[in-house]
Amino acid sequence: MIALAATMWGVAGTAAKYLFNQRVSPFELVEIRLVLSFVFLFLYLAAVNRPLLKISFADIPYFLVFGCFGVGMVQFTYLFTISQTNVATAVFLQYLAPILAALYGMVFLRERPDIFRVLSLLLAVGGGFFIVRGNPGGGLAVNPAGLAGGLASALAFAFYMIYGKKGLARFNSWTLLVYGFGVGALAWSLYMPPWQAAAGHSAMNWLFFLYITIFATVIPFGLFFKGLNFLHPVIAGIISTLEPVIAAFVAWVILHETLFPLQVLGCAMVCAAVILVQTAPHR
């Protein structure tokens, strides 16, 4: 389920590139994405499974923290990093999150290091580095502000996985998502009102907004949290590093972008990491 979610996120990168070429701001895209995702999922649950929308007053603090510092902060720090560096650098830095999740487990949960998991982390991060660094026309673009934003993005994504895993012990994954999207959309609305983000877009742009809402947000995030029910956050994070591999492959097939040898090696390393972390014995 997490591999399928990563695939859908990777494919959606092409749709996002189209919107950016149409002068849609990344901030507008995130605002519309969160608002539409909340509205779509809320209406769907209200129609087919209304009990999933019921939470107690005591649950509100959890969803405020998850929505603001999980959903909202992941989006903000990722886009801030893009504004200071480039997309490739932002993706690479965000996918340092599994390392932070592993360190959290060892320090606070006293989890013993697993040689197979450590090797998978090294392969995934090293593969991500080669995917980014292997493009002579792109590569890493690091400055102090971008590095700080990227590390904050990795920290936010690690928190998103760990805190989301905690919430899954109490809530259905769809309950977690609908209110996470809702709080995240509310937080973004303080920065940019929804009607301002939605103004002036063509009908074709709205088709792409709907595609990203359904096939790059609601369904893949639902799959991610369903998969997180069964896996440790570190393993889920390693599997999700398939996203840049899928994105590179789709860009090669559809956009005819060149895939350089070092990038192919990076893709192979990430795939090896995913296979190793799933097949190796774990205590």
Residues 6+ apart with CB under 8 A from 273: 119, 120, 121, 122, 123, 124, 127, 238, 241
Beta-carbon neighbour count of residue 76 at 10 Å?
21
What does the pLDDT read at residue 260?
A: 84
3 state SS of 258: coil
Residues 6+ apart with CB under 8 A from 138: 86, 88, 132
Q: What is the mean pLDDT of residues 143-153?
A: 87
Range of the domain at 231: 2-279
139 Ramachandran zone, left/alpha/beta (phi>0; psi -120 to 50): left
Question: How high is the mean pLDDT of the chain?
Answer: 88
DSSP 33-53: HHHHHHHHHHHHHHHH-GGGG
Give how far Cα 141 sits from Cα of 47, 144, 181, 183, 197, Å: 47, 10, 31, 32, 28
CB contact at 8 A, 30 and 188: yes
Provide the residue type at 60 as one letter: I
The pTM (predicted TM-score) of the whole model is 0.85
Asked if residue 114 has pLDDT above 70, the reply is: yes
Asked if residue 131 has pLDDT above 80, the reply is: yes
Give CA angle at 70 (245, 103), nearest 5°.
70
- CA separation for the pair 160, 153 (Å, rounded): 10
What does the pLDDT read at residue 34?
A: 93
pLDDT tens per residue, range 239-279: 999 988 887 787 788 767 777 888 889 889 999 999 888 88
Asked if residue 135 has pLDDT above 80, the reply is: no
What does the pLDDT read at residue 138?
A: 62
pLDDT tens per residue, range 60-112: 999 999 999 998 888 888 878 877 877 777 878 888 999 999 999 888 888 88
pLDDT tens per residue, range 1-54: 999 999 998 888 778 778 888 888 888 888 999 999 999 999 999 999 999 999
pLDDT band, residue 282 (cuts 50/70/90): low
pLDDT tens per residue, range 204-236: 999 999 999 999 899 999 999 999 999 999 999
Domain count, the chain: 1
